[in-house]
Structure 1
Amino acid sequence: MPVPATTGQLRSNIADMEIGDYIVWRYDSSGEQFIDGTLGAIEIPVNGLVGTTSLNNYYWYAIKADKGLLISDRIRHHTVTWDSMNSNKIIEGLPKTFGNVSGVVRSLSGGVGFVDNDGKLSMKDLGLGAFPADNEWDRYIKKGSLNEKVKPNDDNVWHHLNTFSWAKETPALGTWVTNAGTSLSATNAMRIVRGYESRSDNRGVAFTGSALSQNYIGFRPVFEYREV
């Protein structure tokens, strides 16, 4: 696959990155790191690796979306449960240090329900995205231009139209009505997923059981760090 469709630059150091730039996220004999080299490594498919696959000798890309925030350009692993991710501390944040940059690897926020025209919670999909509207999925992927360096909601940047990404949140409890007229009941055992807009019902905001795994739902890692 080509590099992410951003007019930003490929960087070799996190400290040099500006919003819209991208960097190689790689696992090899040296461990997990951010570098500009891909020689001898295998690119992760845009729909991710099966959850049991070792990351050794694989690479993909991370894009700088905001100050102190890198977002993976694809799901890293699919067929993983939210519960297993949570037990491994990668929902809220697993401490990591890359070179001299310390931060956490975690999941994106994705909202808890649908948003209405007044910015309030709706249990009916009005095609406006998730509530609260200021969630990371909508801010950076669905609507973000990254300082005019990408087209919002571009699958050539985020590879998200045929996959769901696990979000942090539990959905608002009750009956949701999708824009296809389908009624779905959310419980405490569910978690939010975002993406998969190629579906016939265009469910960009959805939920599923936290203990379930599917080959189209996966972990899209974020690296959050303190940027001075």
Structure 2
Amino acid sequence: MTAPATTGQLREKLSDMEIGDYIVWKYDNTTSGYIFGGSTTGYTEIPLTGNPLASMPLKYFWYAIKVDKGLLIADRVVSNTTTWDWLNSNKFVEGSPRIISETSGVVRCPSGGVAYADASGNKVLTSTNTGYGAWPTINEWDTYVVNFPLNKIFSGKSLNDLWNFKCMTWCKETTIPITGTVPGGWTTGGRTVRSENTTNSKDRFWSTASNYSNVAVGFRPVFDYKEV
């Protein structure tokens, strides 16, 4: 099993988790849907590159990492070739209410900003990677993925070993139109995607058509729940 490179502990219950800990997140299409913890016997591990939506196994698993109180983020894109439109029609953009292992919450896309940011945290209407993440700067991708505490990553490992930047992640937002010439592949008024398997993967921001379907982009689920 490809466990994330966090120094946190593998937990069986959400109530035992601290920031940096991780837990098995399973999906069983034959019975109760999402499950946290427990044995993975009989379940297929999702590849670090994600799995095509049309050929998802009946029973599969990945890991979720706790990044804040009441917030888990999957350690990989789970389903690729998934369109933003499909996620939206199935309530996964803003949040699909679920009770998972007796915990109520929503399963949704992370937030990822609407434009590039500059060194001062202001928006920059460009398609060129500024290296400062996205605007608004308080978004889940930059706050929790890019800025995951380095002291909670195994020595000699990187963010890529933790979050598996193998393909891009759909985010909730619609991007702001940029100024100047629109580059190839950039969709004006498209949906935000973050990350790519490049040198600057952790800072990458892009605008893609909501009906785009490709193995290069997919759904990285977040579980947002009320922690008491």
- TM normalised by structure 2 equals 0.89
What per-residue deviation string (whole Å, max 9, x for no partner) do you get for residues 161-198 of structure 1?
x31000111111133789xxx5776523x101000041
Give, in whole Å, the separation in 2 of the partners of 1:33 and 1:191.
29
Structure having the higher helix fraction is 2
Q: Deviations over 1:3-53 (max 9, x none)?
A: 100010011111111110000011235432001421222110011110112
Q: Measured at CA, do residues 128 and 101 of structure 1 come closer, stay the same or move farther in structure 2, by a change above 3 Å?
A: same
- Counterpart for residue 179 of structure 2: 175
- 1:211 corresponds to: 211
Give the direction of change, closer, same or farther, for the CA distance of 1:199–1:87 in structure 2 (3 Å limit). Answer: farther
Q: 1:144 aligns with which of 142, 148, 159?
A: 148
**Matched residue, 1:17:** 17
Q: CA deviation at 1:150?
A: 2.5
Q: CA RMSD in A?
A: 2.4
Q: Residue in 2 aligned with 1:187?
A: 188
Structure 1 alignment gaps of length 5 or more:
none
Distance change in 2, residues 1:175/1:225 (3 Å) = same
| 1:131 aligned residue | 135
* Residues 173, 185 of structure 1: 8 Å contact kept: no
TM-score (norm 1): 0.89
Partner SS for 1:97: strand
What corresponds to 2:161 in structure 1? 156
Please give the secondary structure, in 1, of the residue aligned with 2:98.
strand
Give the aligned residue type for 1:101.
Answer: T
Q: What is residue 65 of structure 1 aligned with on the other side?
A: 67
1:51 aligned partner: 53
Asked whether the 8 Å contact 2:117–2:124 carries over to 1, the reply is yes
Structure 2 residue identity aligned to 1:135 = N
* Structure 2 contact 191–209 (Cα < 8 Å) conserved: yes
* 1:86 aligned to which of 85, 88, 103: 88
What is the DSSP-based 3-state SS (H/G/I as helix, E as strand, rest coil) of the residue aligned with 1:166?
Answer: strand
1:70 aligned partner, one-letter code: L
> Alignment partner of 1:165: what SS?
strand
